[in-house]
Amino acid sequence: MVEWLGERRICRPRRVFTIALGAALVWLVGGCAKERGPQPSQAIAKVNGQDVTRQQLWSFLEMGDNGDAGRRALDALIVRQLVRQEAQKRNVEVSAEEIKSRLDGMKDYLLATTGKDFASWLKDTGQTEDDLGSRISTQVLTAKLVIPEKDREAFFEANKNELKKLPHNNESVIFRQIVLPSREEAEAIRKELTTNKKADFAKLAEDRSLDPMTRSRGGMAGWVVKGKMAPPDPELEKVLFSLKPGEIKGPLPVSAGSVQGQAAPDRWRIVKVEKHLQPQAITLKNNEDIVEEEMLNDPRFQMQLQQFFLNLRSEAKVEILDPRYQGLSDVYGKAPPAPQPLVGPTAPAPLAPPAGEVPAPQSQPAPKSSAKPAAPQQQRGR
C-alpha cells in the first residue's frame, strides 16, 4: 500500500436508497432515464450537419435485443404503476419530507464520491430533481408495502450499535486535496487559490495533483469521521476539523511510505473542506433508508418482495395495445407461480460491519489523466 498518497478512509458511507432494494426492485426502478423528457424531435447529436434525434435514440434502445429491452422497460413501467395503485388502495403515502431527506443524503454521498455537486451530477445524467424524487417515491412506497413497521423497529434496535458507526451519524468532514511534489510548489498553488478568485481547486487538482485516486474527482478525498482515520493521522485530522466549509489549508506534509519495497519521496498537500457534518440522533427515522436496504437484501424479505410483485401481476388487468409486446400479457392476470425459496436465515441478518473504506483503494502514482469519474454507486452519506 502506498501510504504517502495520503488516502484516508472511514467506515462505509450511508447508502442512498434510490436504486438499491434487491434484484426485483433494482429492475423496477433502476436506471437514469427520465420519466418525462424533451420533445422526441429534439436533436441530441449532429453527424456532418445532419440531426440524430431523441426519438431515433429511443426507438433504437426500445428495440434492442430483438425487442427484449422494450418489453422489459414496459413491464417495469406497468409494475411501477401497480405499486402506486396498491399504495393508494392501502392508504400508504410518501411525504415530501421523506423524499427531501433521501435526496439530501444523496447529495452528500455524490459530493464525496464524485467530487460534483448535485446540480452538476443531475445535468451529467440527464435528470431533474423531480425525476429522481419520483423514483425515490416509488421505491419508498414499495418498501413500506413489503416491510411491516414492527419488523423495521426490531431490526433497528438489533443493529443500533452498528448504525452508530456510519458517517452521517458522526461528526465528519468531506474534503478535497491536491498532492504535490514539493513544499514550494504546494505553496505556489495555495497562493494562487487564495489570491485568484477565478482559481478552481477541482480543476487544479485534476491538472496538478500526484494522487491518482482523487485527481479524477477534482481532488475529492471523501469522508473523514472524527477520531476514525485509518491509518491515523492526528495532524491532518486536526486541520480538517478546524476548517470551515470552503476554507483552504496547506502546505501539509504527506508522510513517506513505500512503493514496491522502495522508499517513496515526501509529498505535500493542500486541502479544502467542502462540508462539515454534525452528528445526528440515532433514530429509526434518521436511518430508515439504511434499515430498508439491509432488510430487503435479507433472504426473508427478498422472498416477500418477490411474492409482492408476483401478486401485483396476478391481480392486475393489463391490456397490451402494441402488438410487439403482446407477450407481456402472459404475466398479468394469472395465478402466480410459487416463489423459489431463498437460501438464508429466517430472521433479518445483522447489519454488516463497516467495510472501513471510502473512497477507492490506494494505488501507485499514475500519469496525469483527464478521465472523468464513473457514475457513482447509489449509496448514501448524509
Torsional sign, CA 254, 258, 259, 264 = positive
Which among 342, 312, 341 is positioned nearest to 75, based on CA atoms?
312
Q: Among 240, 236, 274, 228, which Cα is nearest to 253's?
A: 236
Under 8 Å between Cβ of 164 and 280: no
Whether 378 contacts 293, CB under 8 Å: no
Whether pLDDT at 336 is above 60: yes
More confident of the two residues 102 and 258: 102
Q: Which domains does the chain have, with CATH numbers?
A: 1-33+56-170+281-363 (1.10.4030), 171-277 (3.10.50.40)
The string of DSSP codes covering 196-242 is: -TT--HHHHHHHH-S-HHHHTTTTEEEEEETT--BS--HHHHHHHHH
pLDDT in tens, 227-248: 988 788 899 999 999 999 999 9
pLDDT at 2 (0 to 100): 26
Please, what sign has the CA dihedral across residues 118, 123, 124, 129? positive
What is the predicted pLDDT for the residue at 263? 54
pLDDT at 377: 38
Please give the helix or strand (H or E) that residue 263 lies within, else none.
strand 262-263
Query: CA 45, CA 332: separation in Å to the nearest integer?
Result: 39
**Has residue 202 got a pLDDT over 90?**
yes
Indicate the helix (H) or strand (E) that contains 178: strand 172-180
- Over residues 286-328, the pLDDT tens digits come to 999 889 988 988 888 888 888 999 999 999 999 999 888 888 8
- Determine the Cα–Cα distance for residues 169 and 143; give it in Å rounded to an integer: 22
63 CB-near residues (< 8 Å, 6+ apart): 69, 70
Count Cβ neighbours within 10 Å for each residue of 296-308 and write b for 16 or more, e otherwise.
bbbbbbbebbbeb
298 phi, psi to nearest 5 deg: -80, 140
3-state secondary structure of 73: helix
Distance, first Cα to last Cα, the chain: 29
**Cα–Cα distance measured from residue 360 to residue 377, given in angstroms and rounded to the nearest whole number:** 12
Question: How far is residue 238's CA from residue 289's CA, in Å, rounded to a whole number?
Answer: 31
CB atoms within 10 A of CB 110: 22
SS3 252: strand
DSSP state of 339: P
Pairing status of strand 267-277 against strand 172-180: antiparallel
Cell numbers found for residue 242: 478546524
Q: What is the pLDDT of residues 94-118, one digit of tens each?
A: 999 999 988 888 898 899 999 999 9
